[in-house]
Structure 1
Amino acid sequence: MATAKTKQKILKTFLDLLSSHSYDDVSLPLVADTAGVKLSDMRAAFGSKRSLVAAFLEKVDAEVLDERDEDMGDQPARDRLFDVLMNRIDALAAHKEAVRSLRSAAKKDTALALDLNQLETRSQKWMLIAAGIDLSGPKAGLVSQGLAIAFNRVVDVWLDEEDEGMPRTMSKLDKELDNGTSFMKRINRLEGLFQGIGSLLRTAADRRGRSKKTASASDDEVAEPV
């Protein structure tokens, strides 16, 4: 069983290597050799590069969740989410070149792109929770996926921005959240429509059920011919 310290060392080494190598060139043996751990320890800690990527995003999630600003609780949901996602950008900043390497590889590797989307969608569900937006059911998955796509567009701008104040990144995030707000309104309208249709169908089914019972009772009351 690999210790927490060993796992941290391996993950740091992986991210450092990604900052100067392509994703394809960063093999598990290379990570183990560079980290100075046995391959068996590497296997016990992380069984694949995907698990290393997942650990990286979980690390970022944890940093954002730990830094959540409780004073934002009385602010509108959109402002809270903006604050959380900018904190996520800040958490990614120390590994900007590793992020660039991952995204470059994903553009050429469909399987990696799908993995990253799945992991990022899971992360965005936690970003919504951190912003006090706790959704459930199909809506939660739909909104988390939409936010993952929107945040990826923001990251594209961030990767190319040199200004430490990040005006372009913040402007892009503003725009994406505006689009997301409109998207949420459409979802809510559709949800209300489906609920209304469901209610009508249930009412119709109840009426049919009552009609059948009434008809059955009437048949029972008809006397059999002698």
Structure 2
Amino acid sequence: MESDMQAGGFPLSFSAERASETAMVGADNFDLALLKAAMDLAGREGWHRFSLVMAAQAAGLAVVEVRNRYPFKIQLLLTLNRMADDAALGEGNGGRTVRERLFERFMCRIDVFQAFREGVRAVMHGLPFDPPLAAGLGAATFDSMKWMADSAGLDCRGLGGAVRLQALLGSWTHTLRAWERDTTPDLTETMQALDGALDRAERLGLLKPLPEPESVSPPTDHETAPSGSGDRTEREDFNSGCVTETFVMETEEDDDDLPDYVPPPL
């Protein structure tokens, strides 16, 4: 299979940095300012050691407006997750295969997280000690995986689709953990981890693409030809579910051959 690849063997048909910048531009300035201030505080103090009031003050935003928009702290992370989805889904279908498209989308998500790296790492470190936060982010991440799978053309129908979604979630989790430890400037270790995870999923048959839509064949001549004198026509009886055959016969009779009209007896 031919594909544009870079030196490390990873596809070049995407620009995660460009997608990340696009998602940032599309984000609300208020949200972006608050998110940046909150992630900076989380990176320095830890996720559980700052408040939304502190983030509002650091961002220079009105506390009452922050309260109206973000009544719960987890909404900051849901906003970040939505930005990552926007970046990934905005990439289109550059890859030729499901695997290539998933690689592109996952790296777009990683690049958005990279812009808030220390804050995201602080959240990851705090998850084991905050079950409600872990449950909320887990549900949001699973929903994101469904969007990634559907947009990449992965077959998610039925029981097999549920298994494939779980495998995709495992691939993402493995990649995110590799990114959390990755110190390379170009995220080579993260891409290697993602490539390996997708390779294992592909070998296990867990990257099954959606089948091609069936084309509708044009009607044949006998189905479209109009019925006429002496022609044999077929009529499908939809009420009984069977096909009946009729013959249309043309008769020629003179009006003189018809019997005279006889009035009924009084």
Q: Normalising to structure 2: TM-score of the pair?
A: 0.60
- How many residues were matched structurally? 182
Contact 2:98 2:207 in 1 (8 A): no
Structure 2 distance, partners of 1:142, 1:51, is 29
Match of 1:30 in 2: 54
- Equivalences for 1:65-76 in 2 at 5 Å? 65-66=89-90, 68-72=91-95, 75-76=96-97
Judging changes above 3 Å, is the alpha-carbon distance between structure 1 residues 22 and 132 closer, same or farther for their aligned structure 2 residues? same
Residue identity in the other structure for 2:43 = S
Deviations, residues 52-73 of structure 1 (Å, cap 9, x unaligned)? 111110011112222x15432x
Structure 1 distance, partners of 2:73, 2:164, is 27
Q: Normalising to structure 1: TM-score of the pair?
A: 0.70
Match of 1:120 in 2: 141
Query: Which of 129, 133, 137 does residue 108 from structure 1 map onto?
Result: 129
Runs of 4+ off more than 4 Å: 136-142, 182-188
Match of 1:155 in 2: 176
More helix as a share of residues: 1
Structure 1 distance, partners of 2:55, 2:207, is 46
Gaps of 5+ in 2: 1-27, 210-266
Structure 1 distance, partners of 2:173, 2:51, is 25
Cα shift at 1:183: 5.2
More strand as a share of residues: 2
- Equivalences for 1:1-226 in 2 at 5 Å? 4-66=28-90, 68-72=91-95, 75-133=96-154, 135-136=156-157, 142-182=163-203, 184-185=205-206
Cα shift at 1:82: 1.5
What's the RMSD between the two structures over aligned residues? 2.6
Higher mean alpha-carbon deviation, 13-22 vs 112-121, is at: 13-22
Contact 2:87 2:112 in 1 (8 A): yes
Higher mean alpha-carbon deviation, 171-180 vs 40-49, is at: 171-180
Which structure has the bigger radius of gyration?
Answer: 2
Cα shift at 1:118: 1.1
Structure 2 distance, partners of 1:39, 1:143, is 43
Identity %: 26
Match of 2:239 in 1: none
Contact 2:84 2:108 in 1 (8 A): no
Cα shift at 1:101: 0.6
Structure 2 distance, partners of 1:15, 1:134, is 36
Structure 2 distance, partners of 1:53, 1:146, is 23
